[in-house]
Structure 1
Amino acid sequence: MANGVAEWFGLKRSNFILDPKNDAEFYAPRTGVDIPKLIEGLQVNLVTERPPKRFFWGVYGGGKTHTLFHISKKLESLLEIYPVYVECPSVPKKSTFLHLYHDGIMMSMGQDFVVGLFKDLIKSIGVVSFDELLNKLKEILEDEELSRAVASLLGARPDKELTFWRYVSGVSVPSRDLAELNQTQSLADSIPSRLANIIIIIGRVIKKVMNKTLVLVIDELDRLKSIADEYGISTYEEAFRKLVDENQRNVAIIMGCSGVNMRELPEPFAGGEQSPVLNRLGIHNLIEISEISANDVDNFIKAILNYIVDKEQAREKINKLKGNINETLTIDLFPFTNEAIEALKGTLRGIMTPREITQRMSDAAGKAFLMKKPFITREIIGG
């Protein structure tokens, strides 16, 4: 039945809901979100070797995630970047930065990529003695402990590669396995700034091996609201302050967080530019993705319909309906009548977010299909 809606109205799919990842190429213009200007600012930072740090925030359903994916897609087509989308995991009350590091950031990069990256680094150094390899790694990574662990990957068995991955991803590693990596302490027991530094080092290696800049897109940070432990909050503050520091030149950090206002943001972001982390970013790097203004709703709906409706089929259907239409039906709003769109806007009652608008459009299409109506009228919206 899902495919029936698409065929019935000449749509490219069965609903109008935007998928942030799969619809990343598309973006409906809206007042207050200047995509070309945002892209230009990010490009300027990247080409001057100052990886950008940005914080996108706004109401739930306002389109932050879609904006983040769209920007990443655009940047990837313009510059040599390696984007990694990280959805902040659900965290317990006593969460520390280790949860985001392991369950979010490292899991999003993945074992194959991270282990393969360090193995490629070893290859790039060439055939040298073990001591010389270790010295070269220390020079590149600027971290003696990690250098010893990476050096152990030389000619390593798959099981040792797994041990390395467990170590570098922040899993507690038994002392016997730590010894195989020439380590005395598990990263899981490290301070937050040390974990942040591992991320920065990975960014440095991506630059050297792939000639690309790592762009970490960390979304859904409002989930940190569940943390009720002061120590846990302090670990996030410590790690994020290191990651967003202007002198951190190896990783771009683009963050997304929902909140009606800056006071409702989770620690360590509450209070906006006065917070420990966002203060380092500066107010010009805090970007609000607000509700769609009333003046933008018509253009937003038209852009959605232009993106999802097959115009060729729409014309055919409109031509067949001539003489049987009591409301105004135009190609730019099909399968909705002009009157239906006005009625739909009335149901929003001030809730002007992409999520709310596209959900109501989809519900209306579903109702009209079940009623076997050839187009969506004002009556269907109000029924």
Structure 2
Amino acid sequence: MRQIRHADDEPWFERARLAYPARQIVVSNATLLPICFGGLIFVFLTRTQLHSGASISGATVGFAASLGVLVVGARLERRLCRPSRQPGAPGMALLWIFVAPSLFVLAVLIALIPTRIGWPAAAVLALGTAIATFFVSGAWLIPLVRLGLVVPASPRLLEIVERAVDRVGVRPRAVIELHSPNSMALALPVTKQLVFTSPILDALNDEELVAIAVHELGHLNEPRIVYMTRVAGAYLSVVAVAAIPLWGSYGIEVAMVPLAVYSLGWILLGRFGRRMEERSDRLGHVHEGEIAGTYARALEKLYEANLMPVVGPSKEVHPHLYDRMLASGVTPDYPRPEPPRREPVARFTALVLLVLIGVFVGFMIG
């Protein structure tokens, strides 16, 4: 927070760089604390006669701690002066959905999974499959409709998407508007839907929105192998957790099979994901309209609205904004910024998980 306070007079891209470590701490702790607590209780369950409800209690404590972290995160976002910030429970629910649904599935399964193969283990894995399907199918939009956070697209948005459809020849099944604190648009490949948040409609003009819509339509027309990989990737957490009862029943050799599938799956998802982002960026650039640089400037406005770093800390699915703008034929008005500084405390949860895994392995082998 000290760095953020000192950056009030800095340009937006420098403020984004300085704020990134604190925001990542919030996100990582909010998603991984349930796994830490659930995993910790699981370790004890493998060697003691604790009631099975203790595992659920551990995960519940983790989720409670996670909500506490999100409250702190809400204060941080207000400090960053994001006027579109959605306060309260709706904003927290949206953060849970967008951050990492696979980690949510992982946390629930670790809290419930038995250590031996049998009907209870099968039931837990079936539950995990159902939760993963809930997210990958777009069914998570249904409760948001009930909360009033999802509404039909406005006439302006429908006209913008129609212009994008005319340019690329890909038509979504539906276009919806989401009341969210972030300025963003996303494609749901399984349901062939486009989702636009309310703030993005204020942040961009019509031509810029058309270019962004073209980018998202590109995701609805990805190769079949990519589509199948994305769908299968939603169930990787279930595959990983299956290693626990397999280990308890048949040994580490058998358990390594689902873990290897999990690792390979994430590698493929990362590679396919980056290629598809670059592909959609090219579409957005080629079909940006008569004014050169429209797509690149639209991306820049989104990053500024969300206060995201122009150059990220590492290679991610989305290329760095600076590189995306250059690839779209626009040189930013500022030199290439340094990536955000890596804060050791940001790795706290990863360290805790590593320790838990080590303790677990020791208990199982010892």
Question: What TM-score does the superposition give when structure 2 sets the normalisation length?
Answer: 0.31
Bigger fraction of residues in helix: 2
Relative contact order (C-alpha < 8 Å, sep 6+): which is higher? 1
Greater Rg by CA: 1
Question: What TM-score does the superposition give when structure 1 sets the normalisation length?
Answer: 0.30
